[in-house]
Structure 1
């Protein structure tokens, strides 16, 4: 039998999900594991979102629908964008699809094998994984703890070339929690315009900012020329398993991405889309209340990590992760992750899963119970003392 295609040779998958699989097997064997490896939440979707989903099912919203997303949801996204970012996109600028699919289809639409994609290091693992299997060259821009892990837009310039097709920016950042300032975002938008390249602005954590505000580089072109916003419901609305996201971008690019989506997926189940409509209409006081809960968990996690010998952790301003510096333990990121899983029953992600710049760090999602955070940090502290 003949082998697989060249395309498959670049597949590397998502390391967080590989860790999840290992940990699930450990739990099935009866082991207790404190789980911080995936960007998921102990909180459920809001009750009104669940009720909206039930109602949609009962009303028969279970058939094929427009591959771009039902009109009511796209109109709701327009309303939401206008309220948050100050401009109103046209419904033709919106496509409803899972957020990871947006990363894949975006790269497919604007780049060919050998072209370059630029993003920060450390950066989200899916950027690395998608670029790898599509045969794209990744060009990374280091970000540093001393600068709050914020991307300096001017550091992009020497890394851009005639082969650059796409810049990806994430603020707040996964895995670091870094949040760019208004001036930095404005400068990024200017560079993208000057260099005439596409920008994928990953704003999936826009609701999860604890100090300061969210700023979008869509401020200049309103997503009509070269900026594409990636957003969704997994993080801000605790709907990770619903796999509901959306892209806002130039009409012609959104049309191409939508064709790709309909070729592979046909459509997002309509009852899930009605849940999205309900989520976008969540009262602001509920969102603020949940963010206060997130902030409390963040503060606890960072405080407890900083009590462990050999570990320091800067306070992240956004997202849902602590990115802890473990260089004081004398272990590499991978060694530390393996050690605490085996000796302390704590599952976390080596920083190198997010690029070489993550060496010396580990990522933990802190959306867990206070009891779990305290117990896990105590277990690591004891294990490291032995």
Structure 2
């Protein structure tokens, strides 16, 4: 009998499983759990988008699309990025439809990284960033964003992290897991350094529609940044379309062409019915987006106040649908806190440590749940803290 483990690539063997998925799986096997763990809207996709997908199936539109996606959808995305975020792209050559923003990120990294290239990543960050950099043959250089700076990337820290091997900055705003949102002044300071050192930016803007207090600014819209930015977005979060798995990349022609080559071999094209649903969402779904955002804002304000009232310091996030309260006052590690809370009170949260070293001492809680669920979760967490 052969030892199959010996055939596994070392890069994969050494890769840690997702810490988010670990706690989600634990919660799934327990009764009466309120999950504040997985980052997924509790809203459903708008009826008009669902109906468009159904209609496409009824009309027999079930074949491949162009590798880059339906031209009509790419044209709608070009209009969307121009009107919403003040950055224009050529629909035929600079936009690619992908299987979620996750595949978009993978394409971007594989298209630009040579062995040994460094990518600067700001922690706390989404769990896939470092593994995807390493799978592409690169090296992750981390910057720790801290709570006293509301988890925002500081320009001086970026400057210090850059070396002769740095090729790109991977930036997420609004941020997962902290909800931190970089404003225009923050981004301009970062852009200046990026241009000085001739770097690229991979801008993960999947939460762009979920900015509550100030409008979202895309770093690609700043002077001199469009040509050095790979813009990643999609329909999962703002349009409540997680299961449809549809994202998109906007990038200058040469970069888009490089990513499209990989996409052709690895994926062929994104789901055809999902593309028709997304096209309808862009045409008629913006009111649904605004309605969801109003509800998220109300939930955000409630849960931030609740955590602060129970003695767990929590900054007010500018976007996404996560809060990142400190649990340092309890004396527990973030993993121990999450495990004990789940066992004692059936509330699932994610330890901050899974998002990087600077996430230790914090937990990520998603408020993409009904207000009733959030209120019950708060009661349970308060009881746990008291005990």
Q: TM-score normalised by the shorter chain: which range applies?
A: over 0.9
Unmatched 5+ stretches in structure 2:
none
Q: For residues 114 and 10 of structure 1, do their structure 2 counterparts lie closer, same or farther at Cα, with a shift above 3 Å needed? A: farther
Tell me the distance in 2 between the aligned counterparts of 1:18 and 1:263.
Answer: 31
Checking the alignment, whether the CA contact within 8 Å between 2:322 and 2:367 is kept in structure 1 is: yes
| Partner residue in 2 for 1:24 | 28
Q: Which residue matches 1:46?
A: 46
Q: Do residues 115 (structure 1) and 120 (structure 2) align? A: no
Partner of 2:139: 137
2:260 is the alignment partner of 1:258: yes
CA distance in 2, matches of 1:13, 1:218: 32
Match of 1:362 in 2: 363
Structure-2 separation of matches of 1:223 and 1:67: 26
Say if 1:34 and 1:234 are closer, same or farther in 2 by CA, change over 3 A: same
| Kept in 2: contact 1:89–1:222 (CA 8 A) | no
Tell me the TM-score normalized by structure 2: 0.94
Give 1:269 shift: 1.5
Q: Where does residue 335 of structure 2 map in the other structure? A: 334
Q: Note the C-alpha offset of 1:213.
A: 1.6
Contact 1:175/1:323 (<8 A) preserved: yes
RMSD: 1.7
SS of match in other structure, 1:156: helix
SS across alignment from 1:246? strand
> Does structure 1 residue 374 correspond to structure 2 residue 375?
yes
Whole-angstrom distance in 1 between the partners of 2:262 and 2:210: 30
Which residue number in structure 1 is paired with residue 9 of structure 2? 5
* Matched position secondary structure for 1:125: coil
How far apart are residue 200 of structure 1 and its match? 0.5
User: How far apart are residue 221 of structure 1 and its match?
Assistant: 6.1
* TM-score after normalising by structure 1: 0.94
- 2 CA distance for matches of 1:372 and 1:226? 43
Structure 1 segments unaligned to the other structure (5+ residues): none
Q: Could you say which residue in structure 2 is the equivalent of 1:281?
A: 283
Q: Which residue of 2 aligns with 1:321?
A: 322
Alignment-derived partner of residue 63 in structure 2: 63
CA distance in 2, matches of 1:134, 1:22: 30
Report the alpha carbon displacement of residue 282 of structure 1 after superposing the two structures with TM.
3.2
The answer on whether the counterparts of 2:46 and 2:285 sit within 8 Å (CA) in structure 1 is: no
Distance 1:260 1:18, change over 3 A: farther
* 3-state SS in 2 of match to 1:20: helix
